[in-house]
C-alpha cells in the first residue's frame, strides 16, 4: 500500500525551515490491529526529517526504522519511504548558490596561484640552467684561451731556441764573427734611426756615435758568454 505524504515542514540542524513531500509504502500484517489498535495515527509527527544535512537514502532508512518501531502495535510494516522533493526558502537557495559560486572562485583562484607559482619556478629554473651553461661556456673559453696562449709561448720559445742555435752554429763557422758584427752594426744603426724619430730625451754612452766601438763591445760580450757556456758544458 502506497500513501502520498503531502508537503510538510521540517527543520534542519542549523535551524533552516524546509518543506518536503514523500511516498510511504506499507504492508498490513495484522488486520485487527490495523483496524482497532490505532488510537492516534497522526501522533507520529515528521520529526524524523530534522537532520536533513545527510543524503536522502540515509534519511529514508532512518524513517523506515523509526516508523516500524512505532507501527508494530498497529499491525503495520513500513516497507519503504521515499523523499521526493525538498523545497528551501528562496533566500536559502540564494545563499547556497552564492556559497557554491564562492567555492568555485576559491578553487579557481587556488589553481591560478598554483599555475603562477609553477610558472615562476619554471622560469627561475630555466634562468638557473642558463647561468650554469653560460658560466661553463666562459670557463671552457678561458681554458682554451689559456691553453692557446701557453702553446703560442711554447712555440715562440722553441722558435727562438732554434734560431739561436742556428746563429750559434753560424758564428762558430769561418767568417761567422764578421757576419755577426755586420748584423749587429745594421741593427745598431736601425735602432738609432728609430730613436731619432721619437721626441724623447735619452741618456747614451759617450761613444754612442762610434758604431765600430759599440759593435766590438757587443761582440766581446757575446764571446764572453759563449766561453762561459762552453766551460759550463765541459
* Mean pLDDT (whole number) for 196-205: 58
Could you tell me if 98 and 153 lie in one domain? yes
The interaxial angle of helices 211-233 and 176-197, nearest 10 deg, is 130
d(CA 10, CA 17): 6
Could you tell me if 11 and 80 lie in one domain? yes
pLDDT digits (tens, 9 = 90+) for 83-118: 888 888 888 788 888 988 999 999 999 999 999 999
Q: Which of 121, 155, 172 is the last residue of a domain?
A: 172
Q: Which of 172, 187, 221 is the last residue of a domain?
A: 172
**Region for residue 175 given its phi and psi (left: phi exceeds 0; alpha: psi -120 to 50; beta: otherwise):** left
Q: How many domains does the chain have?
A: 3
For 156, list phi and psi in degrees, rounded to 5.
-65, -45
Weakest-pLDDT range from 6-15, 45-54, 58-67, 167-176: 45-54
Domain containing residue 132: 89-172
Residue 50: pLDDT over 80: no
| Greatest C-alpha distance within the chain | 159
pTM value surpassing 0.85:
no
Q: What rounded mean pLDDT belongs to the chain?
A: 76
Amino acid at each position: 500500500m502506497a500513501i502520498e505524504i503531502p508537503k510538510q515542514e521540517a527543520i534542519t540542524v542549523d535551524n533552516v525551515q524546509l518543506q518536503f513531500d514523500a511516498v510511504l509504502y506499507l504492508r498490513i500484517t495484522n488486520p485487527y490491529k490495523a483496524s482497532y489498535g490505532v488510537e492516534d495515527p497522526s501522533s507520529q509527527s515528521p520529526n524524523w526529517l530534522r537532520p536533513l544535512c545527510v543524503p536522502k537514502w540515509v534519511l529514508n532508512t532512518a524513517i523506515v526504522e523509526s516508523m516500524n518501531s512505532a507501527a508494530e502495535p498497529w499491525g503495520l510494516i513500513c516497507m519503504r519511504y521515499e523523499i521526493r522533493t525538498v523545497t528551501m526558502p528562496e533566500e536559502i537557495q540564494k545563499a547556497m548558490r552564492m556559497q557554491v559560486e564562492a567555492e568555485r572562485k576559491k578553487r579557481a583562484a587556488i589553481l591560478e596561484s598554483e599555475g603562477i607559482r609553477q610558472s615562476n619556478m619554471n622560469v627561475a629554473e630555466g634562468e638557473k640552467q642558463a647561468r650554469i651553461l653560460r658560466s661553463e661556456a666562459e670557463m671552457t673559453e678561458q681554458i682554451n684561451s689559456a691553453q692557446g696562449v701557453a702553446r703560442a709561448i711554447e712555440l715562440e720559445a722553441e722558435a727562438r731556441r732554434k734560431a739561436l742555435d742556428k746563429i750559434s752554429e753560424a758564428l762558430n763557422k769561418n767568417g761567422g764573427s764578421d757576419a755577426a758584427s755586420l748584423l749587429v752594426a745594421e741593427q745598431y744603426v736601425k735602432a738609432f734611426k728609430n730613436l731619432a724619430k721619437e721626441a724623447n730625451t735619452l741618456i747614451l754612452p759617450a761613444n754612442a756615435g762610434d758604431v765600430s766601438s759599440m759593435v766590438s763591445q757587443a761582440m766581446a760580450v757575446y764571446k764572453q758568454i759563449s766561453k762561459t757556456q762552453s766551460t759550463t758544458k765541459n
